[in-house]
């Protein structure tokens, strides 16, 4: 007798049932058994998945988002003190994680059965990358290990979780993604404190090894709950995914704004600890600059996730754009004292930190206008667009710092002046998609 096959009777219904069909034609009255799928948008399984995804976000993304702590250490301690291109390490880690997302999701489209296994493979790759990074003697070694290999492992570990989220949450998708992405902010609160302590007391080699062990031990238990809601049938292997949205003028405008925003978004996180030290801050206060950005981004992501499910997507993007642009030009640009710098960190994290949460709204908008759109590929291409800006901002920001001030008062009259302009202009251009609504495109 052949092995029975299963097919879902509907995609995302919370009462979806699987009908198991016996294909043995010698038994014309084959028995049918029904199995209920876990509820969508709620229930124990969905919330356990979301909690595990939230913790995964903390562990995988929190480390590269806390790179400013490492940059401050590397630039002032041997064997890397005085070396150039140190900012490229952090932007490379984050940028390549974003850029590799379409490739990883394309792989999953062809081989959906490997998604859960990729979480473990990616975790091992990240831990090995950190272990090798602890042996580094030059900046290129750090770029390769802490940058490139960590990014590869992170993409393999993280991408399946995003794919599964699309199955577990539908009506509450924006809120679910907002809660999950708030994990980056939580990681940015906890991890800098831990790393700051380890770096000051034991040095970067021990710090990287300790974090590697913590990362592995904390992530492995999560794999129990990080699973798909819908069964994966062998018949859907090598499926064709629809990329027609790449020709959609609405998506192209969303992507343009996304790339612009990503170009400057990461600059403050890279340079704020170093800037704080030049203003006379102690090590704990310099770490607080990153912590404040991440604390407020937690609230920003959750609130944005909730309003994305209710408001038009361009309204959400406009809110993030106005808040982040004004905070850069009016607060960061005149931050010649620690108190004002900390105020900027709080406001910037609240508004700029929530921008990526609008992806859920973009996915929903395109799915509504073009029924065949693959939501996960939309997310993957948006993530890649953010990665383009992220990778480019490393060498560009390094060159701008060496270029000198742009004149005026406040921080504009220092070497950080060009960075303020870069970040503010890119934040403003991040709202370019709002013109699409004015033109009636969506």
State mean pLDDT over 30-57: 80
The pLDDT confidence band at residue 364, using thresholds 50, 70 and 90, is confident
The pLDDT confidence band at residue 24, using thresholds 50, 70 and 90, is very low
Task: Please give the Cα distance from 124 to 121 (Å, whole number).
Answer: 5
The pLDDT confidence band at residue 247, using thresholds 50, 70 and 90, is confident
Whole-number pLDDT of residue 23: 39
The pLDDT confidence band at residue 350, using thresholds 50, 70 and 90, is very high
Higher-confidence residue: 202 or 290?
202
In the chain, pLDDT over 90 holds for what percent of residues? 38
Q: How many CB atoms lie within 10 A of CB 311?
A: 15
Domain locations along the chain: 5-36, 44-438
Residue 374: is its pLDDT beyond 90?
no
Residue 3: is its pLDDT beyond 80?
no
Task: Please give the Cα distance from 326 to 284 (Å, whole number).
Answer: 27
Q: How many Cα neighbours within 13 Å face the side chain of 87?
A: 21
141-197 pLDDT per residue, tens: 999 999 999 999 999 999 999 889 888 998 888 889 889 988 888 887 888 788 888
State mean pLDDT over 232-239: 52
Task: Please give the Cα distance from 263 to 232 (Å, whole number).
Answer: 37
State mean pLDDT over 130-151: 93
Least confident interval from 95-104, 120-129, 212-221, 370-379: 370-379
Task: Please give the Cα distance from 149 to 71 (Å, whole number).
Answer: 18
Whole-number pLDDT of residue 25: 41
Query: Which of 120-134, 355-369, 397-411 is modeled with the greatest confidence?
Result: 120-134
Whole-number pLDDT of residue 6: 39
- Round the average pLDDT of the chain to a whole number and report it: 83
398-420 pLDDT per residue, tens: 788 877 777 778 888 888 899 99
How big is the chain, counted in residues?
442
Whole-number pLDDT of residue 425: 95
State mean pLDDT over 354-363: 90
Task: Please give the Cα distance from 435 to 432 (Å, whole number).
Answer: 6
Whole-number pLDDT of residue 375: 81
Residue 20: is its pLDDT beyond 60?
no
Q: In the numeric block, which tokens belong to residue 345?
A: 């960190």
**Residue position matching structure tokens 């704004």:** 257
Whole-number pLDDT of residue 134: 93
Q: In the numeric block, which tokens belong to residue 91?
A: 């932007």
**Contact yes or no for 151/96 (Cβ under 8 A):** yes
Whole-number pLDDT of residue 240: 58
Question: What does CATH list as the number for 44-438?
Answer: 1.20.1250.20
State mean pLDDT over 385-402: 81
State mean pLDDT over 65-92: 83
43-55 pLDDT per residue, tens: 899 999 999 999 9
Residue 11: is its pLDDT beyond 60?
no
Q: How many CB atoms lie within 10 A of CB 221?
A: 10
State mean pLDDT over 214-226: 93
Torsion, Cα of 145, 146, 147, 149 (10° steps): 50
State mean pLDDT over 103-112: 85
**Contact yes or no for 185/353 (Cβ under 8 A):** yes
Whole-number pLDDT of residue 190: 86
118: closest CA among 145, 88, 147, 156? 156
């Amino acid at each position: 007798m052949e092995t029975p096959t299963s097919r879902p009777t509907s995609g995302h219904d919370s009462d979806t049932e699987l009908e198991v069909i016996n294909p043995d034609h010698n038994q014309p009255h084959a028995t049918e058994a029904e199995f209920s799928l876990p509820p969508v948008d709620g229930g124990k399984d969905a919330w356990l998945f979301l909690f595990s995804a939230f913790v995964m976000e903390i562990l995988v993304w929190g480390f590269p988002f806390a790179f400013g702590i490492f940059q401050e250490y590397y630039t002032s301690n041997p064997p890397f003190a005085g070396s150039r291109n140190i900012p490229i390490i952090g932007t490379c880690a984050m940028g390549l994680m974003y850029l590799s997302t379409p490739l990883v999701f394309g792989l999953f489209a062809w081989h959906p059965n490997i998604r859960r296994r990729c979480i473990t493979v990616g975790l091992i790759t990240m831990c090995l990358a950190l272990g090798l990074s602890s042996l580094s003697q030059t900046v290129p070694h750090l770029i390769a290990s802490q940058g490139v290999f960590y990014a590869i492992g992170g993409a393999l570990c993280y991408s399946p979780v995003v794919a599964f989220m699309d199955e577990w949450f539908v009506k509450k998708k924006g809120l679910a993604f907002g809660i999950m992405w708030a994990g980056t902010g939580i990681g940015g609160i906890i991890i800098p404190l831990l790393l700051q302590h380890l770096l000051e007391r034991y040095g970067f080699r021990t710090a990287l090894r300790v974090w590697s062990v913590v990362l592995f031990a904390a992530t492995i238990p999560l794999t129990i709950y990080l699973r798909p809601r819908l069964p994966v049938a062998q018949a859907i292997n090598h499926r064709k995914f629809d990329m027609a949205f790449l020709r959609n003028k609405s998506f192209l405008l969303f992507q343009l704004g996304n790339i612009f925003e990503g170009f400057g978004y990461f600059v403050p996180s890279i340079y704020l600890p170093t800037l704080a030290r030049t203003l006379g801050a102690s090590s704990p206060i310099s770490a607080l600059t990153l912590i404040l950005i991440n604390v407020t981004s937690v609230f920003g992501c959750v609130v944005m996730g909730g309003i994305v499910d209710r408001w038009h997507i361009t309204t959400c993007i406009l809110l993030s754009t106005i808040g982040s642009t004004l905070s850069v030009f009016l607060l960061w640009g005149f931050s010649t004292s620690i108190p004002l710098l900390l105020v900027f960190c709080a406001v910037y994290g609240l508004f700029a930190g929530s921008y990526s949460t609008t992806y859920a709204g973009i996915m929903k908008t395109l799915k509504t206008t073009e029924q065949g759109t693959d939501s996960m590929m939309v997310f993957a291409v948006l993530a890649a667009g953010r990665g383009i800006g992220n990778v480019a901002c490393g060498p560009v920001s390094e060159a701008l710092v060496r270029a000198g001030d742009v004149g005026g008062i406040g921080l504009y009259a220092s070497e950080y002046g060009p960075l303020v302009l870069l970040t503010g202009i890119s934040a403003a251009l991040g709202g370019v998609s709002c013109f699409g609504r004015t033109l009636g495109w969506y």
